[in-house]
Every structure is written in C-alpha cells, then in structure tokens.
Structure 1
Amino acid sequence: MAEIAEEWDAYQEVPAIDEAYAEALGDQFAGQFSGATPDYLELLAARLGWSKGTRVLDAGCGTGGLTAALAARTGCEAVGLDASPAAVRVARTRLADGGSAGDAAHGGDSDHRVSYRVGDMTAPDLPPASFDAVLAIGSGYWSDPAVAVRNWRTLLRGDHPAVVVVISRILRPPTPRDLELTLQEGLFEPLPDWEGALAAAGFRVEVRDLTANDADCVERLHAALARRLPELRAQMGPELGERYVAEVEVLRDEHRAGRMRRTEVVATFIGGADGC
C-alpha cells in the first residue's frame, strides 16, 4: 500500500490535471480520479435510503471531492480514507476552503459532517460497528476483495448495511506496454472478484453496467489532457507527464474497442449488521 500511495502522491496538486478534469466534467467535477459524479452519488443514496444520520466510509477517497459531495447532497456523515497523504492533505485543504466544485451548489453546511484520514482502505483502523455503509469508487484495483470485505464487515452497523464498489475493468490481460505505463493490474484479467467476495460473505449482490457514461467522460478527459501536455511536462516532469496522458489514452482506446466495462456492485445485508 505504501508504494501505491507514493505513486498517487506524484499526481496530486498538479494544476494541469485538475484543469483537465474540470473541463471534462464541468459542474460534475469533484476532483481527480473521482470515478463518479455528485449526481450519481445523489441517485445512489436515494436508492439505498442514505440520508441524515447515515454514516458512510469512502474507502480510497482520493482528494475527497465525492466524500464532500455525498455529505452536501444527502445529509450523510462521510469519512474519507486514503493511503495517499498528499491526497488527504488536498482534501482537507479544499474542505477548509469551502468544499469542492461538485458540492458547492448544494449548501455549505456539510463541513462538520465530513472528515478525512490517512489509512489502508482494506484494513481501516476504525472502530467496529461505526458505519452504515462502505463506498469504494475507483479504488478497488489493488485490494484483495476477500480481505477487504472481511474487514469492512466489522465496521458495519444498522438494519440495512451496504457495500458499494464501482470499478472499471478491461476485458483482456495486460500487455508489456500496460505494465510499463504502470496501469494498475487490477484493471485487467484476471479481474478482482468483488461480486464473489461479497456474496461469499453473505451479502445480496446486485450489479449494474455504467459503461456508457464512463466512455464519454474518458473521451473528454483524454482530449483535455492532450491539450495540456506541455503544462503536464513542465509540472510533473517530461517522463511522468507523457506517461499520464498515455495511461488515459489506453483507457480511451479500450472503450473504443468495446473491451472496457464500468461496473457498479451494490451489496446489502438484509438481516442487518448483527448477521454480518
């Protein structure tokens, strides 16, 4: 996990990346690597009955935009957890400065319901039975699903505990070029089996395909990054700046080839947390 944190630290606080994401997502911008939008979170919360009093762990929160948006849009209490100290630092700074673009239009009274901490999303150092739900959006690529689910179960409470994992998947094995670009191996076959791990833990699992919306976003993001390649080279260094654009280009090309899938896995425990 330390190696992952070091890699992602290098991408934080790069103005050209933030600008590209903001251009690609518009008023749905909630920070780098968000993997979803505030509108999506609002609909998800409505489906699962999350509201004021619901406590959600955002596992792998990155720079925290979606964590803040969840609290602002729904009234939930949201705790963001990420292994990257740089990402958590950005999240805390943005919260102190008034939140992210993605939640600004939905009230500024959510600050007291949002907090961020540095930690391992698969083994959180958090009290048992302290959350109603665990949310992992775009962060499940490096984790062993069975280990993560076992640890997350201990955190859950209430009558309708839930785990939501949103993850992209490329339906082929990685090539040497993919590995050279340091694309996360969990994107590729053999794919992490979140559905199987959650079902084995006793959850009822429902799966939805979110690919269409994701494809449009990746197209816009790649175009926005490519236009900023000189700035990325200057801000990140030539090698890292070019590699970052190349990574997003792989995702764009896989969408175009029909090999990329964006999957939502919603797991609920109907018997309540006592049955977990």
Structure 2
Amino acid sequence: MTGAATGGPSMVEIAEEWDSYQEIPAIDEAYEEALGDQFAGRFSGATPDYPERLAARLGRASGTRVLDAGCGTGGLTAALAARTGCEAVGLDAGPAAGRVARTRPAAREAVGRVSHTVGDMTKPDFPAGSFDAVPAIGSGYWSDPATAVRNWRALLRGDAPAIVVVISRILRPQTRRDVELALQAGLFESCPDWDGALFVAGFDVEVRDLTAADAACVERLHAALARRLPQLREQMGPERGARHLAAVEVLRDEHRAGRMSRIEIVATPGGGRR
C-alpha cells in the first residue's frame, strides 16, 4: 500500500499524477498508438481488443450496469458502454478522471450512458444491488482484496453477476527508484490475493495468464514514447519527460527479464474454484 504508512505518495496523489499525464499530447498520442484509445493513459488492458473480450463476458444487454473500479482516465469505462450498450460508471480516486474521459471518442458514442465519480474503489458509495458487474483493471494492487470483495459483492445483482480483476506484479524487491519512477508502490510488492479473497467470499474463480500479450503492449508503448522523447521533454519539462519514459522502460525490462506477470481473475457467484 502507498501513503503515510510507507512514506510514499498517497493513492489520490498517484491517481492525480497519472491522470494529469493524459493532458500531455505526446503521451496521449503514444498510448493511443500502442494500446488503442480505450486504454489511453493506462498501464492496463493486455491487448487493444480487450474491451471486446471483456464485453463478451459481461454480456451485451442494454440494461446492464457496470462499475469500473479504479477507472483511471475512463477509457475502458467508455469503451464498455460503447461496445455493450450498458450503463458504465467509472470510480477513481483522482478527480481528473471524468474530465479526461469525456474527451474520448468512445465516450461520445456512449453519450448518456457513461458517468464518473470520485471515491475509494474498495468502498463504493452506491446502494446494494446497483451493478451487474465490477471490473477493476490495473488498479487492484493498491487495494485490500478482502475489503473490496465484501463491498463489491453487496453491489452485485442480475442473472450473471461478475467481478473481473486484472492485476500485474513485478517479481523482485522494490527499490526507491521504482517508487520515484512509477509512483506505484504496490506494483512491486507481493500480489494481493484477489482470487483467494473471491473464493472465500463464495465466488467461482477462473484465472487467465495475460503476461505475453501485456509484454507486447508494453514494448509498443515504450517504443511509441521513445520516439516522442523530444516532445515529452518540451511538454512536461526535461526531468518529468525523461521520468515518464523511464517508468515504462522499467516495465519493459521486467517483462524481458521474465520478472513481470499479469493475470485476469473472473469471479462469478458460486462457491467453487476451477
């Protein structure tokens, strides 16, 4: 976890830092080139077609309501609404998320069905039975799984409710430089036991390995940012521009060394693990 307990930046500070990057043209262009508009600004989404595959799991009914927990700048929130016809609510600790998300093409396609709110993704302030699904893509390493699962479980409704968590981890001890570059302390710590917490809460749990596809996306993202280093330095300042590229380089190098993994956990109410 980040914040006062570790002396590092708080979750809100981290969220605001990353959200602010998406108003940097060179960063936005690089993410869109490498990952597609739906993932602009997020170390999320193993492949550009991930929203399609996630939408297929969550269903395509127009009455479906989805909570995107830890939505970042809202690209996935809008993409799900555009592809499924569902109503999608993005929840993030950073207040910039909603403002940035409204600029996405997918948000224009899904006008009236996408909204954003600021808050703690582990303790959503919504009435019980408000959502058919809760995806948390690339934000779960900041959170306590037991608390989040308990609160998300109360939000679920419908015929086929689901929780989908996509999480990464780097398989080595964290250094001070990692925190300074990536501002994501939990990414380098032991992976929170999301599948265990979901199983204990009575879910059937299915785990998929997304590491290879994620590695390819990180390679593309690093290359796209490296080509734009002069623009990054100009638009962010020399130090911040170089730091942003270096943060992505850490992820690329960890993938190349075989020390980074990425998994998708799909949980549906049941009671057994497969």
Identity level (%): 75
Residue 243 of structure 1 pairs with residue 235 of structure 2: no
Partner of residue 213, structure 2: 213
Moved more, 17-26 or 177-186: 177-186
Partner of residue 73, structure 1: 83
Secondary structure of the residue aligned to 1:153 is helix
Q: 2:169, 2:261 within 8 Å by CA — same for their partners in 1?
A: yes
Q: Give the letter for the 1:23 counterpart.
A: E
Aligned pairs (5 A) from 1:31-70: 31-33=40-42, 35-36=44-45, 39-70=49-80
Partner of residue 24, structure 2: 14
Give 1:3's match in structure 2, choosing from 9, 13, 16: 13
Partner of residue 130, structure 2: 130
Q: 1:78, 1:114 within 8 Å by CA — same for their partners in 2?
A: yes
Q: 1:56, 1:77 within 8 Å by CA — same for their partners in 2?
A: yes
Q: 2:97, 2:116 within 8 Å by CA — same for their partners in 1?
A: no
| 2: CA distance, partners of 1:61 / 1:149 | 17
Segments of 5+ residues of structure 2 without an aligned counterpart are: 1-10
CA 1:151–1:262 in structure 2 vs 1: closer, same or farther (change >3 Å)? same
Q: What TM-score, normalized to structure 2?
A: 0.87
Aligned residues: 260
Deviations 1:229-269 (A, max 9, x none): 22212222222211111110010001111111111000110
Deviations 1:147-197 (A, max 9, x none): 111221121112322110011111222123212324412212322111111
Q: Give the letter for the 1:74 counterpart.
A: T
| 2: CA distance, partners of 1:19 / 1:13 | 10
Aligned pairs (5 A) from 1:114-153: 114-153=114-153
| 2: CA distance, partners of 1:236 / 1:61 | 23
Q: Give the letter for the 1:32 counterpart.
A: G
Deviations 1:8-48 (A, max 9, x none): 3432311110011122135x654210612563222223234
Q: Give the letter for the 1:269 counterpart.
A: P
Secondary structure of the residue aligned to 1:20 is helix
Deviations 1:90-145 (A, max 9, x none): 113x26xxx33xx88xxx3x212211122221111112210011011111121111
Partner of residue 274, structure 1: none
Secondary structure of the residue aligned to 1:164 is strand
RMSD between aligned residues: 2.0
CA 1:125–1:140 in structure 2 vs 1: closer, same or farther (change >3 Å)? same
Aligned pairs (5 A) from 1:127-276: 127-270=127-270
